[in-house]
């Protein structure tokens, strides 16, 4: 059979950390020679250039008149089964238990037990959906019936066990960024369009949901700006954006804050910043902080969820209790006012991103999980971690 795999990937293809990670993982696996089939309702926005090992299968939802609501879940399960049969897939790697894992398990029943299901938990299915008793049993079922389950942080594993009383093994597989894409960019000329040379740039990137505490971002910036000439860049869109705009105007900071909307080249945008602000109420991982870290931008954030597993307090940024905007602002000022400290923290960021969250290493962890559930031996070339190039 060889060691090359045929893998179906289902994720949310639009903006969002889980879709980004799933797509980037698929691209890396395709580079290794595996055959990757994305089974989603639209082309993942990070898919990028054409690759001979990457295929896209669109999930089309029936509008049959007896259905009150479009039956996306049934259409997805049917498509997963169809692709698995036609392409002889070895496994389905699905991101999120609801609905993707449930659909994959239905597809497995249609295709046969030789089709394996690997489910990755990213957070929302546990931190939000699992709190709803009407669907918590379904999520528990999806997790328990999957051939392997991974989660993006120790904190998420703990919460999964506490919330759903799940005892099965869950593999810790951190998120990652591609070191060939996320690195400090030379954006000196572009930076001049946003700030004067003597000004610092603080940044926040999110979907502006309440859990991101974007109003805290404004408060932190206001306090920093009182002590250091600075600018704030907001990147993204979401439900709390109007509140943020209103608060910025109330504080008289409209000329110091730029709302950049959604941006495609995230690495270039992040490279404009001196600090990333992440005061979230909950983060299962905090992918944007890792993206910033890889670009040499430290994070000022909260001790929430998986953030402390990503940001080492005092080394790659500073963490505070959720809502403590005074300390977050003080940490930001301290970091931005001390060139030696800042340079040391930036160097720590780059090292941690390139080694601990190395894309080659995390991809290898996923590959080993695939071989394990398929009952295959790990290829000899995969058994030598010293050959993993994390610096590139």
- Give the C-alpha separation, 296 to 314, whole Å: 15
| Contacts of 288 by beta carbon, 8 Å cutoff, 6+ apart | 17, 205, 206, 276, 278
**Phi and psi, residue 295, nearest 5°:** -95, 5
Whether the CB-CB separation of 117 and 146 falls below 8 Å is answered with: yes
Placement of tokens 């909950």 in the chain: 282
7-16, 69-78, 180-189: which is most confident? 180-189
Distance in Å from the first CA to the final CA of the chain: 31
**Phi and psi, residue 89, nearest 5°:** -65, 145
- Give the C-alpha separation, 361 to 24, whole Å: 13
Whether the CB-CB separation of 300 and 190 falls below 8 Å is answered with: no
Chain CA centroid to CA 50, Å: 23
- Give the C-alpha separation, 301 to 308, whole Å: 9
Average pLDDT, the chain: 90
Query: What pLDDT, in 10s, does the model give residues 351-360?
Result: 999 999 999 9
- Give the C-alpha separation, 332 to 47, whole Å: 35
What confidence tier does 1 reach under pLDDT thresholds 50, 70, 90? very low
Whether the CB-CB separation of 278 and 307 falls below 8 Å is answered with: yes
Query: What pLDDT, in 10s, does the model give residues 270-310?
Result: 999 999 999 999 998 999 999 999 999 999 999 999 999 99
Q: Which fold has domain 188-355?
A: Rossmann fold (3.40.50)
Q: Report domain extents, the chain.
A: 6-176+358-387, 188-355
Say which range, 130-139, 198-207, 258-267, has the weakest mean pLDDT. Answer: 130-139
- Give the C-alpha separation, 109 to 124, whole Å: 26
Comparing 341 with 128, the larger pLDDT belongs to 341
What confidence tier does 123 reach under pLDDT thresholds 50, 70, 90? confident
Say which range, 12-21, 168-177, 380-389, has the weakest mean pLDDT. Answer: 380-389
- Give the C-alpha separation, 359 to 63, whole Å: 41
pLDDT over threshold 70, residue 383? no
- Give the C-alpha separation, 348 to 327, whole Å: 22
Comparing 74 with 222, the larger pLDDT belongs to 222
Q: What is the mean pLDDT of residues 38-52?
A: 79
Same fold, 6-176+358-387 and 188-355: yes
- Give the C-alpha separation, 279 to 215, whole Å: 9
Q: What is the mean pLDDT of residues 70-96?
A: 94
pTM of the model: 0.89
What confidence tier does 381 reach under pLDDT thresholds 50, 70, 90? low
For the 6-176+358-387 domain, the top CATH level (class) is: alpha beta
- Give the C-alpha separation, 359 to 354, whole Å: 8
| Contacts of 156 by beta carbon, 8 Å cutoff, 6+ apart | 121, 122, 123, 126, 127, 284, 285, 305, 306
Q: Is 258 exposed, middle or buried (0-12, 13-18, 19+ CB in 10 A)?
A: middle
Three-state secondary-structure class, residue 189: helix
């Amino acid at each position: 059979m060889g060691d090359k795999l045929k893998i179906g990937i289902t994720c949310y293809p639009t903006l969002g950390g889980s879709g980004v990670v799933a797509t980037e993982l698929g691209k890396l696996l395709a580079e290794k020679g595996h055959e990757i089939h994305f089974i989603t309702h639209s082309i993942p926005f990070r898919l990028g250039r054409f690759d001979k090992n990457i295929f896209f299968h669109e999930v089309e939802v029936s509008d049959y008149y007896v259905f009150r609501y479009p039956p996306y879940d049934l259409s997805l399960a049917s498509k997963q089964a169809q692709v698995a049969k036609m392409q002889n897939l070895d496994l389905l790697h699905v991101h999120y238990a609801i609905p993707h894992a449930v659909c994959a398990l239905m597809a497995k029943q249609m295709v046969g037990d030789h089709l394996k299901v690997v489910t990755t938990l990213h957070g929302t299915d546990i931190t939000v959906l699992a709190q709803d008793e009407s669907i918590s049993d379904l999520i528990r079922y999806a997790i328990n019936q999957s051939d392997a389950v991974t989660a993006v942080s120790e904190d998420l594993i703990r919460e999964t066990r506490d919330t759903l009383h799940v005892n099965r093994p869950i593999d810790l597989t951190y998120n990652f960024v591609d070191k060939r894409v996320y690195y400090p960019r030379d954006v000196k000329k572009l930076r001049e369009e946003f700030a004067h040379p003597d000004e610092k740039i603080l940044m926040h990137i999110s979907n502006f949901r309440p859990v991101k505490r974007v109003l805290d971002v404004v408060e932190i910036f206001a306090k920093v700006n009182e002590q250091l000439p600075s600018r704030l860049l907001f990147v993204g869109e979401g439900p709390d954006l109007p509140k943020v705009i209103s608060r910025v105007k109330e504080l008289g900071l409209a000329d110091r804050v730029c709302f950049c909307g959604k941006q495609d080249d995230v690495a270039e945008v992040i490279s404009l910043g001196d600090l990333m602000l992440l005061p979230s109420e909950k983060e299962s991982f905090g992918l944007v902080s890792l993206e910033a870290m890889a670009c040499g931008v430290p994070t000022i954030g909260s001790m929430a969820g998986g953030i402390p597993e990503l940001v080492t307090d005092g080394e790659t940024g500073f963490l505070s209790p959720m809502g403590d905007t005074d300390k977050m602002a003080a940490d930001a000022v301290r970091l931005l006012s001390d060139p030696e400290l800042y340079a040391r923290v930036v160097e720590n960021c780059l090292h941690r991103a390139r080694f601990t969250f190395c894309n080659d290493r995390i991809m290898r962890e996923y590959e080993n999980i695939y071989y394990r559930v398929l009952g295959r031996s790990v290829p000899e070339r995969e058994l030598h971690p010293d050959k993993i190039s994390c610096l590139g």
